[in-house]
Chains A and B, each alone.
Chain A
Amino acid sequence: MSRRYDSRTTIFSPEGRLFQVEYAMEAISHAGACVGVLSKDGVVLAAEKRITSKLLDPGHKLEKMYQLDDHIICAVAGITADANTLIQYLRLSAQQYSYAYQEPIPVEQLVTDLCDLKQGYTQYGGLRPFGVSFLYAGYDEHFGFQLYQSDPSGNYGGWKATSIGAKHNQAQSILKQEYKKDISLKEALELTVKVMSKTLDNTTLKPERLEFMVLKKKADGSVGMVALTPDQIGDLLKATEVDKKEED
C-alpha cells in the first residue's frame, strides 16, 4: 500500500515517513563501517575498507577518509560517488568561509552547511537524497575537539563516540559500555581498534583493510590530521590483540 508513496522523494507516506530517506539509510547500512571517538586531546576516526577486487589500484588515496580543511577531517559510509560530490561541496564551503571571514570555519557550521544541502534534497526538486552518512572530526577555538555525525535526512548530532555503516548498532553498544569520560587520545585509539575488531570478522582484520585518521595537536602546537600508515595500523592491531589475549 505504501508503495504508492515512495516514488517521489518529496512527499510523506500516510504513516508520516519519507521512504526515500529511509531507503538511503538502508543503502548505508550495507557499507563499510566507520567509527569515531572523541577524546580530550584529539579525535580518532577509523573505517573498514570494502575492497571489491584485487585488481583495484587505489594509489595513495584513502577510500573512506578525507581531509576537509586544516582542522577538519571526515569519514564516509555509503555511495562513493555521492560522497565525492559532497566532499567537494564541504571543501568549497570551508574555503568560502575562510575567504569571507579570514578564520577557519567552526566545525558545527560546516556540518550545518552540508546538512542544509542534504535536507533540501528531501524537500525540493524531486531528486533522490544523497546515500551517504558522514563522521566529522574537527577542532576550533570555540569548542575544542568535536565529533559529529550526519545522515541522508540532513539530521546531525554531536557525539562522544559513534559509528555508521555495517553493524553500527553492535559497534554503538560496545562504545556505550566502554567509553569513559576524559578518555585520552591513546585510549581512544585503543577503544576504536577494539570496537573494529569486535564488529568485523577477525579474518578481515588486517592493516590493509583498515584506515585510521587522527585529528590532534601537533608538536608545533597547531592542530592537524595524521593518517596512520599500514605499519602503524599493524602495530596498533598487535597491541590490542595482546590485550585481548590477556583478557581471555
Chain B
Amino acid sequence: GEAMSIQTYNGAAIIAMSGQECVAIASDLRFGVQNQTLACDHKKVYRMHDRLYMGLSGLATDAQTLYKRFVFKHNLYRLREERDMRPQTFASMVSATLYEKRFGPYFVEPVIAGLDPEEGHAPFIAGMDSLGAMETAKDFMCAGTNSESLLGVCETFYRPGLGPEELFEVISQCMLSGVDRDALAGWGAVVYVISKDQCIARTLKGRMD
C-alpha cells in the first residue's frame, strides 16, 4: 500500500471508562502492518498491578518496549517502597518517561486506568500524547487510529455512576461500534473491569474485518 504515517502503521483502539468504585479499560485485538492484518489476539492493555492497567496505542514495537520499561521501573519501586504504585504516580512516571524522549519520541499514546489505594479505591483515568502531555478525566479516555469515533460513541453512551456489569456493557458497545469505522482497528476486543476486589477480563466477538 502507499506510505502511512508512523502513528497509523499498526492500528489500535483503546477506551477507558470510570464507574461507581470501578474502572474499565478495553482495547481491540488487531495486529497488522499497514493494510495487512497478521493477528487477532494482540492485546494492547497491560497489567501493571491488580488495580492499575495501561493501554498503549500507536506503534506496536514502541508499546511493547515501553511496557517492559514500566515493568522494570515499577518492580524497583515496589521493592523499595513495599507497596504498589498509585495510578496518579504511575501516570506521572509515564509522562516523564515519554518527555525524556522529547526530540525523538516513542510513537505511542497511553491510556491509564486504575483504582487509587489511598483514596478509598477511587477510580482514576488519564491519557496523554506521545510527548507525555497528560490529561485526567472523570468519565472516559480514548486513544487510537480513530480516537474521534471512539470519543463520539463514548460521549453518546456514557453516564456516570455505572456499576461493574453496566460499565462493561457500555464500554463494550462503544468499542465495537467505534472500531467498525476504523479499517486498522478491530478484529475482536478485550475488556478489563477493575473493582476493589477483582478484575474480570472478557473477550468480545466482533466483526473480523
Cα(A61)–Cα(B80), bound, Å: 10
Cα(A61)–Cα(B71), bound, Å: 23
Q: Chain B 8-23 against A: per-residue CB contact (8 Å), 1 yes, 0 no?
A: 0000000000000000
Q: Chain B 33-75 against A: per-residue CB contact (8 Å), 1 yes, 0 no?
A: 0000000000000000000000000000000000011011001
B201 at the binding interface (Cβ < 8 Å): no
Please determine whether A99 and B69 come into contact, CB atoms closer than 8 angstroms: yes
A199 at the binding interface (Cβ < 8 Å): no
Residues of chain A with a CB closer than 8 A to B72's CB: 95-96, 98-99
Please determine whether A99 and B79 come into contact, CB atoms closer than 8 angstroms: no
Residues of chain B with a CB closer than 8 A to A69's CB: 75, 79
The chain B residue with its CB closest to the CB of A59 is B82
Cα(A219)–Cα(B157), bound, Å: 42
The chain A residue with its CB closest to the CB of B73 is A95
Residues of chain A with a CB closer than 8 A to B68's CB: 99, 102
Please determine whether A95 and B76 come into contact, CB atoms closer than 8 angstroms: yes
Residues of chain A with a CB closer than 8 A to B75's CB: 69, 95, 98
Please determine whether A60 and B79 come into contact, CB atoms closer than 8 angstroms: no
Among A184-203, those with CB < 8 Å from B are none
Please determine whether A68 and B79 come into contact, CB atoms closer than 8 angstroms: yes
A8 at the binding interface (Cβ < 8 Å): no
Residues of chain B with a CB closer than 8 A to A95's CB: 72, 75-76
Cα(A61)–Cα(B81), bound, Å: 10
Please determine whether B76 and A91 come into contact, CB atoms closer than 8 angstroms: yes
Interface size on B, residues (CB 8 A): 9
User: Within the complex, what minimum Cβ distance (angstroms) separates B66 from chain A?
Assistant: 12
Cα(A99)–Cα(B75), bound, Å: 11
| Contact among B69, B71, B76, B82 with A92 in the assembled complex (CB-CB below 8 Å) | B76
A: interface residue count bin: 10 to 19
Among A69-120, those with CB < 8 Å from B are 69, 91-92, 95-96, 98-99, 102
Residues of chain A with a CB closer than 8 A to B76's CB: 91-92, 95
Please determine whether B82 and A60 come into contact, CB atoms closer than 8 angstroms: yes
Cα(A102)–Cα(B65), bound, Å: 11
A67 at the binding interface (Cβ < 8 Å): yes
Cα(A64)–Cα(B72), bound, Å: 24
Residues of chain B with a CB closer than 8 A to A92's CB: 76
Residues of chain B with a CB closer than 8 A to A96's CB: 72
User: Within the complex, what minimum Cβ distance (angstroms) separates A81 from chain B?
Assistant: 16
Given A69-B75, A91-B76, A95-B76, verify A61-B82 contact (CB < 8 Å): yes
Residues of chain B with a CB closer than 8 A to A99's CB: 68-69, 71-72
| Contact among B69, B71, B79 with A67 in the assembled complex (CB-CB below 8 Å) | B79
Among B70-103, those with CB < 8 Å from A are 71-72, 75-76, 79-80, 82
Cα(A55)–Cα(B80), bound, Å: 24
Cα(A109)–Cα(B25), bound, Å: 38
The chain A residue with its CB closest to the CB of B79 is A91
Residues of chain A with a CB closer than 8 A to B79's CB: 67-69, 91
Q: Chain B 153-177 against A: per-residue CB contact (8 Å), 1 yes, 0 no?
A: 0000000000000000000000000
Residues of chain B with a CB closer than 8 A to A61's CB: 82
The chain B residue with its CB closest to the CB of A95 is B72
Cα(A60)–Cα(B82), bound, Å: 9
The chain B residue with its CB closest to the CB of A70 is B75
Cα(A32)–Cα(B21), bound, Å: 47
Cα(A67)–Cα(B72), bound, Å: 15
User: Within the complex, what minimum Cβ distance (angstroms) separates B177 from chain A?
Assistant: 36
Residues of chain A with a CB closer than 8 A to B80's CB: 91
Chain A interface (Cβ < 8 Å from any Cβ of B): 60-61, 67-69, 91-92, 95-96, 98-99, 102
What would be 11 A-B contacts, judged by CB atoms less than 8 Å apart?
A68-B79, A69-B75, A69-B79, A91-B79, A95-B72, A95-B76, A96-B72, A98-B71, A98-B72, A98-B75, A99-B69
Q: Apart from A99-B68, A99-B72, what are 4 other A-B pairs with CB-CB below 8 Å?
A: A60-B82, A67-B79, A91-B76, A98-B75
Which 10 interchain pairs have the tightest Cβ spacing?
A99-B72, A95-B72, A91-B79, A95-B75, A99-B68, A95-B76, A91-B76, A67-B79, A92-B76, A60-B82
